[in-house]
Chain A
């Protein structure tokens, strides 16, 4: 092992150890288990938060790491949701098969749209991601004999592995089920991020031209990460409707694309745990606002608009960035 005093050795050490698990990374999982045991009344909300974390994580892959701005991520969320629901109503009610099919379906859509869309950049790309989502939403509305339209369709899942029932009353098995899927998705994304592929994504985000010059097939790599992100978003959509046993065209709503982006920005982009913090804070604040002020007026929408403006102006690195700054100040004072 190289001694630790030179700066080069420090860099080597950093690169060799940065992917290792830090003890702090256990905190969200411990919290998730504590919520399950001590706040059973909030399991529905907590389940929704877990699903939104998966969705926000998938968005972080493209927005935070690869630097692809998308306002149409519900295209994949909604497609995953509908694939699962339609399988369930057509005699394939197994939740695991539903998840896998949702991931594949969303990945195929991600490949087709990504391959085409990612040839453009900037505003054009943004418009096209929105256009794809709205097109799908229009289709879902027009073919309401299949999709159930605004009223949606109800379905029942079969038991997982024929053993465990997804209960929609106490959300005990559903909560654990979603938590496990979140954990697996998270491990998968974390592995990608710390692999050379992840460093390359950051390179593309920072300077696509230079990455291209040193031999990275930029478009191809962008499509790959877009497909992976789409598949995970599809899984999130599938989970969302599986735990509710109901799907409506709302899963394609444009507002949802905005919401998930806000969750990510609120927590902090390009740092994995930003999605955890952002989705949790967003959903809890939404719930508190609606409980305190009621839902007869869009108070929450107003508040989140202001929060977003303030975040962009004063805390662009999200809540995690604020914590980091505070932590650094505290350390300085200690010295």
Chain B
């Protein structure tokens, strides 16, 4: 096997796994921003808390990994509802700066909060046997977990697209993103729709937080800050509220970021930001965003 093909396939598989993770976490943020026009910088905090719930369930209560992911999805989705109802709702009509400030306050408090409980060091997780080791695909061997990540991501993407394009609630969400006033006047309860969508997005973030523990080298309090920028970048590059755009942006940025760090260990982390600035200069509304 040529070393070139070997390298390319490694970059693609690792990059794709990372891209899936980016999509799972960012899609909720994209919908919240498109639907409610709300700059939710605390989205990364929900992902972080999902990661901590997963770690705790697996390492302390011995819950199987897959079940822990599911529980953290439900738990964080439910937890996010009072936040939306009692905190965010007051700021939908306020300025962007106010939204940014309130949610940064949440980020600070949540980072401190998880440090009180779990400490500042990264929490690692023991993977179940079926996700350990590597798998030989004939031309190259890959870690099983990355392959699992890609398959799980693809399933979630398919489910989301189906839900949005083919179900009634999906149609309602798309209608509300396009024109909220019109959607309300044809009888869609956008308030309730917002709450449920927000909960779903936060739950997805939590799921991503749990799935990402292995790939990102453990979950730690600064996660909420460190990765927030990446999630925001994915949303901005894709176009707010556009799920297809978010998916493409995650795909492009995930693979580019991994390739950058793989080929240029020094300064490679810088590539993704350069690409972002370039894309947003040419298309300030994002790849698939509306004008």
Say whether A associates with B.
Answer: yes
Residues of B close to A299: CB separation below 8 A: 112
Interface pair B267/A123, CB less than 8 Å apart: no
**Interface residues on chain B, number (Cβ under 8 Å):** 43
The answer to whether A126 and B116 have CB atoms under 8 Å apart is: no
Query: Is B196 among interface residues, defined by CB-CB distance under 8 A?
Result: no
Give the residue of A128, A131, A306 whose beta carbon is less than 8 angstroms from that of B105.
Answer: A306
Binds B, one of A43-51, A164-172, A211-219, A254-262: A254-262
Q: Are A69 and B284 in contact (CB under 8 A)?
A: no
Q: Please choose the segment from B64-72, B169-177, B185-193, B269-277 that sits at the chain A interface, where 4 or more of its residues have CB less than 8 A away.
A: B269-277
- The number of A-B residue pairs with CB atoms under 8 Å apart is 129
Q: Which chain A positions have C-beta within 8 A of B111?
A: 298, 301, 305
Number of A interface residues at 8 Å Cβ cutoff, please give it. 43
Q: Mark A138-156, 1 if CB is under 8 A from B, else 0.
A: 1100110000000000000
Residue of A nearest to B109 (CB): A305
Find the B residue at minimum CB distance from A139: B270
Q: Which residues of A contact B101 (CB under 8 A)?
A: 261-262, 265, 308, 311-312
Q: How far is the CA of A134 from the CA of B97 in the complex (A)?
A: 20
| Main DSSP-derived SS at the B contact region | helix
Q: Which listed residue (B116, B229, B274) contacts A127, Cβ 8 A?
A: B229
A305 contacts B108, C-beta separation under 8 Å = yes
B39 neighbours in A (Cβ, 8 Å): 123, 126
A120 within 8 A of B: yes
A221 within 8 A of B: no
* Overall SS of chain A's interface: helix
| Bound-state Cα–Cα, A126 to B101, Å | 12
B97 contact set on A, CB distance < 8 A: 63, 69
A26 to B233, CA, bound (A): 45
Whole-angstrom CA separation of A311 from B285 in the bound complex: 31
Judge whether A119 is part of the interface by a CB distance below 8 angstroms: yes
B115 within 8 A of A: yes
Q: For residue B267, which residue of chain A has the nearest CB?
A: A142
Q: How far is the CB of A207 from chain B (nearest CB, A)?
A: 13
Contact B115 A297 (CB under 8 A): yes
B contact residues around A255 at 8 Å (CB): 225
Closest to B104 in A: A258
Nearest residue, chain B, Cβ from A254: B225
